[in-house]
Amino acid sequence: MRILAIETSCDDTGIAILEVTGTKNPSFKVLSNIIASQVELGEKYGGVYPIMAKRAHEENLPLTLETALSQAKISLKNIDLIAVTNGPGLEPCLWVGVNFAKNLSSSWNIPIVPVNHIESHILVNWLPTHENPKSENRNPKIEFPAIALVVSGGHTQIILVKKIGQYKILGETRDDAAGECFDKCAKILGLGYPGGPIISQLATKLVGCPTPHQLPRPMINTKDYDFSFSGLKTAVLYAWPTFAKSFGEAMQKNAQATMAAEIQQAIIDVLIKKTIKAIKDYKAKSLILGGGVSANQELRKQFKNKLEEELPHVELIVPKPALSTDNGLMVAVAGYFNKKNTVSWKKIQANGNLRISK
Ligand code: KG4
Ligand code: ZN
């Protein structure tokens, strides 16, 4: 079957076409995966503004579709299923994708399946291209129960994955998401948008060096699996002016890099502590990472080391960095696993607050 997938939950317009053959051990062939990014808008305004992002999705979708089809060398009449993200995310943006999918579904008489954005960040790991060297070129063997850590600009959730389709949110952020914290801290430091990749790039030179300023690790010792990142951002806000001054005019780049490394480490420490606790408590056999922040190389490295030290039997499953951030392909994979849940184009709705489990 051929799946056309549409992603517009935040500021990336993604369309992918995925061909799946076989049923028991499906084989995935990526025909196209096109992303029209709104990074320039984000850079200009220092963040995502739903109304502007919505307009950009409306502008981008038709051309993105045309590019995806021409790269896949097929036409809409060759599509068997449309998958579209219907939540969670920015609701005005979600509606653009959902309405686009509705139009295609009704005009071409193609069934449509709604996809949960968080589930698609998890299920993208079922693509054979993921970065686990042991499973290269074949479908990864992901053993259950698994713990998934989904860390993005909008969400930070630890999820128990009993099997595909059976999820329980064990904990989540009570305020800002981890990616949001990276983005807001980058803004305080006078860096660009999105903050995560910039902070991680700056921090590479200084990881492991002692930092002259220790930031808090909020909620690191609480017994639950919840997070709180807004206090970390506030701590950076108060510490930064004095910290920057102490480096002097000529050393501002060093001040930024040093603070960037400390911000990144504070976030990593909390994410790792809570996730490892969940793996132990639920005797999980795999750890699945997903969401934009999971592109962070230092986070990946430290998770790998920690598992090798403490839980060597637990397999670390991570997507290719380009598939950590929002894209259409992850929606296509999730659409495939949900192919039985098609709905009428008249009924499909976007829901900004959709939950993966009750
Ligand atoms: O999953 P995603 O593309 O969109 C949402 O669903 O929110 O995640 C975007 C977030 C942004 O906050 C961005 O700063 C963060 O992912 N991010 C990173 C890295 N790459 C993207 N954070 C840390 N390190 C990175 N390398
Ligand atoms: Zn996302």
Domains of the chain: 2-127+322-347 (3.30.420.40), 146-318 (3.30.420.40)
H or E segment to which residue 279 belongs: helix 252-281
Residue 214 contacts residue 236 (beta carbons within 8 Å): no
Which tokens in the block code for residue 38?
A: 């709104």
Q: How far is the CA of 296 from the centre of ligand 1 (A)?
A: 9
In this predicted structure, what is the pLDDT of residue 91? Answer: 97
Instruction: State in Å: Cα 51 to ligand 1 middle.
Output: 20
Ligand 2 centroid, distance to 340 Cα (angstroms): 23
Please tell me the distance from the alpha carbon of residue 318 to that of residue 300, in angstroms, as a whole number: 8
> How far is the C-alpha of 336 from the C-alpha of 81, rounded, in Å?
9
pLDDT of residue 139: 63
Asked if residue 182 has its Cβ within 6 Å of ligand 1, the reply is yes
Q: Is 150 helix (H, G, I), strand (E, B) or coil?
A: strand
pLDDT of residue 138: 53
What is the spatial distance between Cα 260 and Cα 267, in angstroms, rounded to a whole number?
A: 11
Secondary structure (3-state) at 147:
strand
Question: From atom 3 of ligand 1, which residue's Cα is the shortest distance away?
Answer: 325
Output the CA 20–ligand 1 centroid distance in Å: 28
Q: Give distance in angstroms: CA of 182 to centre of ligand 1.
A: 8
Per-residue confidence (pLDDT) for residue 348, from 0 to 100: 98
Report which of 153, 155, 161 is spatially closest to residue 184, judged by C-alpha positions: 153
Backbone φ and ψ for 313, nearest 5 degrees, come out as -80, -10
pLDDT at residue 129, rounded to an integer: 57
Euclidean distance between CA atoms 267 and 178, whole angstroms: 7
Ligand 1 close to Cβ of residue 153 (< 6 A) = yes
Q: What is the CA radius of gyration of the chain?
A: 20
Closest residue to atom 7 of ligand 1, CA basis: 153
Structure tokens that stand for 201 in this block:
């790039």
pLDDT at position 227 is 98
Residues 270, 276, 279, 280: is their CA dihedral positive or negative? negative
DSSP conformational letter for 293: G
315 within ligand 1 shell (Cβ under 6 A): no
Report which protein residue has its CA nearest ligand 1's atom 13. Answer: 196
Residue 163 neighbours by CB distance under 10 Å: 10
- CA-based nearest residue to 175, from 232, 239, 118, 122: 232
Residue that the structure tokens 């976030």 belong to: 267
Among 64, 168, 183, CA closest to 122: 168
Ligand 1 within 6 A of 194 CB?
yes
- Residue 154 beta carbon below 6 angstroms from any ligand 1 atom: yes
Is residue 292 in contact with ligand 1, taking CB distance under 6 Å? Answer: yes
Give the residues of the chain that fall short of pLDDT 70: 129-139, 358
Ligand 1 atom at minimal distance to the Cα of residue 299:
24
